[in-house]
Amino acid sequence: MDHFKINEPDFLRAPTPTLTRMRETGPLVAIKIPFIGKCWVTTTDAAARALLKDEVHFVRNPANAGGRDISRYYWFLPRFMGVLNRNILSLDGTEHARLRKAVDQHFSRGAIDALQPEIKQIADDLLDRLDSTQPIDITKEYAQILPLDVISKLLGILPDQRTELARAIAPISEPTTTWNMLRAMPGLYKSLKLLRAEIETIRKTPRAGLLCELIHDAENNLTDDELVSLSFVLFVAGHETTLHLISDAIFGLTENTQHRAIFQSNDSATTFRAVEKYMRFFSPVMMTKPLFVRKDHVFHGQAVKQGEKILALLIAANHDPERFENAQIAELGRRPNAHIGFGFGPHVCLGMHLARAEAQIALDRLFQRYADVQRAPQDAAPEYTQRFGMRGMRRLMVQLKP
């Protein structure tokens, strides 16, 4: 097995050399990922798309590939983790479609367009509180809080609960090591308890928000465990990922200052394309969850065995020279830009319209208020997150100037 290091700061800073070597090895390469263990990852756009759309040969729940159910697959984890692991991302076929149907309409483009005024208000309130007299960590004080506030509001989670939940799950953003994963367990247990309590409270006293709608959705009739795992995924996926897109883009705009004018233009078609550019170039979620091989076969020239795991390496697809000319360059307004940064196939990101709107608004509002956002001199080398599979800033110190 080659030792491709896809989570080291060198890779996160400049992934092209490693991605090129990986691609030279083949469309599938074997690597080892903390927690997941030995697995294959795709190295091309074609292999990633083929993997993600093929529900005959690849499944999300190992039970459908001759193994244990996903709730018990990671047998070494405490039992309560079974509920969280059996979530929308790890189910197949009708089980997956059932959950997806319950939430799809709430994240449609139309539903997200209707949310825009609230997202703008949240962005403006946060900007009002930023200190422009000294360097601040824009990741913590803006890029993270904006999507957290938005998803909490959308779900109908009250500010106190939101703060407790965010605190409880914070350790999962620490560098992915076995020790840190174990350290995260008490917080995950607490988040599960908090969500169960919140669901109970809302059941008794309805309030605005998606959680309440799902609880009272007689058509889809979700169980308590489904409600907990779904709201957990929405809460986590709803802010951790967008945080990285926004912080990556701010980082990009401190490197390439002439691009800022785009976010001062009030031209939503252009800002949309610019955000898509960052999505492709940075690929803030670098890989999908594992898929399991249903039966032995040959996939893109590589023999794969039942039960083996394959992940789509989205960053490799998005930097594939067969698909993108000058893939290593963050070209503005690139067209066509058919990246798969939000995944592909039945599990394509539910929240992509929301993420795009949040990133566009976050950047528009920031650069319209502060024409000049400079990296603080003490932050010459920004810190990347060490959360496996994510490409974003752990800390980005900037000085805001009107």
Cβ-based nearer residue to ligand HEM, 106 or 334 = 106
The reply to whether 233 sits near ligand HEM by the rule CB under 6 A is yes
Is residue 53 within the footprint of ligand HEM (CB under 6 A)?
A: no
CB atoms closer than 10 angstroms to residue 66: 12
- Shortest gap between Cβ of 350 and ligand HEM (angstroms)? 4
Q: Can residue 88 be called a binding residue for ligand HEM (CB under 6 A)?
A: yes
Question: Are the C-beta atoms of residues 28 and 298 closer than 8 Å to each other?
Answer: no
Closest separation in Å from C-beta 272 to ligand HEM: 13
- In order, the DSSP letters of 360-396 are HHHHHHHHHH-SEEEE-GGGSSPEEP-STTB-SEEE-
Q: In the complex, what is the shortest distance from the CB of residue 138 to ligand HEM, in angstroms, rounded to a whole number?
A: 16
Question: ∠ at Cα 220 (217, 224), nearest 5°?
Answer: 75
Nearest to 321 by CA among 126, 43, 81: 43
CA distance 226 to 221: 10
Contacts of 211 (CB under 8 A, 6+ apart): 155, 156, 157, 198, 199, 202, 227, 231
**Member of 15, 156, 341, 392 binding ligand HEM (CB under 6 A):** 341
For ligand HEM, give the closer residue by CB, 15 or 341: 341
Tell which positions 353-372 bind ligand HEM, by CB under 6 A.
Answer: 354-355
Of 154, 105, 358, which is closest to residue 245 (Cα–Cα)?
A: 358
62 counts as binding ligand HEM under rule CB under 6 A: no
The count of chain residues that interact with ligand HEM, using the rule CB under 6 A, is 25
Residue 21 neighbours by CB under 8 Å, 6+ apart: 2, 4
What minimum distance in Å lies between the beta carbon of 175 and ligand HEM?
20
Determine, following the binding rule CB under 6 A, whether residue 98 of this chain makes contact with ligand HEM.
no
User: Minimal distance in Å, beta carbon 402 to ligand HEM?
Assistant: 28
Spell out, one character per residue from 157 to 186, where the chain touches ligand HEM: x when CB under 6 A holds, - when not: ------------------------------
242 binds ligand HEM (CB under 6 A): yes
Q: Please, are residues 250 and 366 in contact by the beta-carbon 8 Å criterion?
A: yes
d(CA 45, CA 343): 11
Q: Is 342 in the site for ligand HEM (CB under 6 A)?
A: yes
**Do residues 377 and 234 make contact, with C-beta atoms less than 8 angstroms apart?**
no
* Contacts to ligand HEM from residues 280-299, by CB under 6 A: 284-285, 288-289
The 8-class DSSP code of residue 7 comes to: S
Q: Which residue is nearest to ligand HEM (CB)?
A: 351
Residue 245 binds to ligand HEM (criterion: CB under 6 A): yes
Q: Which residue in 343, 382, 389, 392 binds ligand HEM (CB under 6 A)? A: 343
- Interacting residues of 53 by C-beta distance below 8 A, sequence separation 6+: 344, 345, 346
Chain residues binding ligand HEM by CB under 6 A are: 88-89, 100, 107, 233-234, 237-238, 241-242, 245, 284-285, 288-289, 314, 341-343, 347, 349-351, 354-355
